[in-house]
Structure 1
Amino acid sequence: MPKIKNTIKNKMKTTTNYNLSKPLRIVTRSSSLAVCQSSMIGKQLTNIHKGLTYELVKVGNLPVNHKDSFVKLCEECLTKGDADLAVHSAKDLPIQSRKGLEIAAYCRRENPLDVIIFAPEYEMAKRSATPIKIGTASPRRRVQLMNQSQEYLVEGLRGNITTRIEALKPETATQENPTKSKLDAIVLAAAGLIRLQRTSIISHYLTPAEMVPAAGQGALALQCLTSREDIKDLTKQLKHQPTELCLTAERHCCHLLGADCDSAVGVYAFLSEDVMHIYSMVGDISTNKIIQVRQQLPVLGGDFDEMQEKAKLAGELVANELIEQGANNFIYKRTPPTK
């Protein structure tokens, strides 16, 4: 476990600049996971601040292909004054913050790993069938799966958690294939299944050595208007500084690489003693080739601002190593590294 501890402690009695007579309006997508995560944050805040209430402002699920489109819907609610706070999965957030908005807090990270879920009939067949059809729309997951085994056949699969799990259910039975599924397996983030209390369907947790997670995976980010000092004050006790340090390194690395949601890039940092351990990978989505870098760098010591700078430096060192090995040839629409 890391030595660093939160300097922001929960207290029995708290004060806040937020007007507790008004319900806190939390904007969220209407998917089951988004509602679950936003409700979880709302309940945590009401436990900290007695007298606080909250309500969810749902923006709906639109047929869009990029996760940052959902982020933009929530951000528009904030900028228009229709909501006070947005709860995002940190891995979905663009690296550059929208003008006038900021992250008020990164909350304690849940399990950051990816998991494989096999279809029930595939489990019963003792996983003997080949090729194994695995569903995922993530370029990062795809290239790492293709590097693990030639027996994997990766097929595109989009949608929320419920939609993707449904893809494992048997299709209409035929005489030739009475229990045939659309897919043999899918890959999801462990954190969402944990929050939805659906871990019983997980077949295997993929270690960072098997599959490097996305930057920010497993963490929630609380976003508000830069001018809303009352919201920053309200949410400050949900800040988890060890998580923030790790995400600083991960997100800065992605920034220097010029990575976006279409890039096959994974960066995962964790703290052990005073050392930050970083797993990273960049893949070529056309050839499925992978470049990997692992680093261990001391980041703890000094005040939190100093540790933040060390975390950024750690992310920069990893990005530079990846670039030296040719990562810039793998990432499309890449921007020049900047400090």
Structure 2
Amino acid sequence: MRTIVVGSRQSALALTQTNQVIDHLQNLCTARGLSVNFEVKKIVTKGDQILDVTLSKVGGKGLFVKEIEQALLDRHIDMAVHSMKDMPWELPEGLINGAIPKRVDPRDCIISKGNLKLNELPQGAKVGTSSLRRASQLQQYRPDLNIEPIRGNIDSRIKKLDTEGFDAIVLAAAGLYRMGWEDKISEYLTVEVCLPAVGQGSLGIECRGDDMPMLEILSMLNDPYTELTVKAERAFLRELNGGCQVPIGAYAVLVDGEEGHGIQLTGYVATPDGSEQIKETLTGTDPVALGKELAERCKVKGADRILSQVRG
């Protein structure tokens, strides 16, 4: 029997989604007569240690995966479960996404005092988010809002709603769904109001590219629909050389057209205050080519200038 060591951050959400993936994989392996055992190895990442500074100022989302990826490369673990939106577009040499399971709700949502919806929040309401992407879109939609940074795991952020004077906080609905906390959601934000982060709602199961037995097991988890749409979103991010230091969003869905199934991709680039925004939608069949073409269209409209200003 092979023991598969799974690396995970120590947060409640990370452990919950890791164990959900393990349960699913165990059932799939058992159904196919494969004898495997799973063991979770908790790993503290730099992003978990730095909680008093916004991600955009300390190096971006890669802070949540670097130590875990090093453990993979050092063969201390065999696979890792990440929130796809936390994964940089470029993976270290030797590592790949072995599977992208079926996506859950990709939308952002708000949790507010009094269970108020976004349009019901009082003038000048204090809204917490750690995301420049969310902040820029909310600022454009409601310029009166006072957007303040908030860090920490989702459970600690929810507590800060009461302890730090926030009227509302903005979170990814997927995390609340996986924790079984959907009842805390005051409103789901439409993708028209707040376009999701690249890969939001999906997971990336990372492993070594040369571990063929592991790749064979993970292939049972892969969802082709999610793989196509996330691949398009990540190609858009890669072409813009983006990370969480800049407000970038992308969301793809499969659509029916005259020539069969296609991928409809919407991309978003903006200044942090939302005063200048570029949002474009394009449909194609090849996810990587589609992501690149949409990024080029955004560049023509000024995305490169906006991104260089933000990085500067």
1:29 aligns with 2:9: yes
Mapped to 2, the partners of 1:296 and 1:54 lie a distance apart of 40
Mapped to 1, the partners of 2:113 and 2:4 lie a distance apart of 41
Which residue does 2:90 correspond to in 1? 96
CA-CA distance at 1:159 after TM superposition: 1.1
Cα deviations by residue, 1:272-318 (Å, 9 ceiling, x for unpaired): 23132222110112663211112233x2xxxxxxxxxx111211221
1:293 aligns with 2:276: no
Q: In the alignment, residue 215 of structure 1 is paired with which amino acid?
A: V
CA-CA distance at 1:334 after TM superposition: 9.4
Mapped to 2, the partners of 1:286 and 1:190 lie a distance apart of 23
CA-CA distance at 1:132 after TM superposition: 1.2
Contact 1:252–1:312 (8 Å) recurs in 2? yes
Mapped to 2, the partners of 1:36 and 1:265 lie a distance apart of 27
Consecutive unaligned residues of structure 1, counting only runs of 5 or more, are 1-20, 172-180, 300-309
CA-CA distance at 1:67 after TM superposition: 2.7
Mapped to 2, the partners of 1:139 and 1:150 lie a distance apart of 15
CA-CA distance at 1:225 after TM superposition: 1.0
Larger Rg: 1
The RMSD of aligned alpha carbons is 2.0
| Cα gap change, 1:280 to 1:185, in 2 (>3 Å) | same
Question: Any residues of structure 2 matched to 1:186-335 within 5 Å, and which?
Answer: 186-273=169-256, 274-285=261-272, 288-297=275-284, 299=285, 310-332=286-308
TM-score by length of 1: 0.82
CA-CA distance at 1:331 after TM superposition: 1.0
Cα deviations by residue, 1:15-64 (Å, 9 ceiling, x for unpaired): xxxxxx13211100000110011101110111011242211100135323
1:164 aligns with 2:157: yes
Contact 2:129–2:149 (8 Å) recurs in 1? yes
| Cα gap change, 1:128 to 1:270, in 2 (>3 Å) | closer
Query: 1:57 pairs with 25, 37, 41, which one?
Result: 41
Contact 2:207–2:214 (8 Å) recurs in 1? yes
TM-score by length of 2: 0.89
Consecutive unaligned residues of structure 2, counting only runs of 5 or more, are none
CA-CA distance at 1:320 after TM superposition: 1.2
Mapped to 1, the partners of 2:121 and 2:209 lie a distance apart of 54
Equivalent position SS for 1:313: helix
Mapped to 1, the partners of 2:277 and 2:142 lie a distance apart of 14
1:82 aligns with 2:76: yes
| Cα gap change, 1:140 to 1:151, in 2 (>3 Å) | same
1:152 aligns with 2:145: yes
CA-CA distance at 1:248 after TM superposition: 1.2
Contact 1:208–1:279 (8 Å) recurs in 2? no
Which residue does 2:131 correspond to in 1? 138
Q: In the alignment, residue 85 of structure 1 is paired with which amino acid?
A: M
Runs ≥4 residues deviating over 4 A: none
Contact 2:140–2:273 (8 Å) recurs in 1? no
**What is the aligned residue count?**
292
| Cα gap change, 1:250 to 1:84, in 2 (>3 Å) | same
Mapped to 1, the partners of 2:100 and 2:245 lie a distance apart of 24
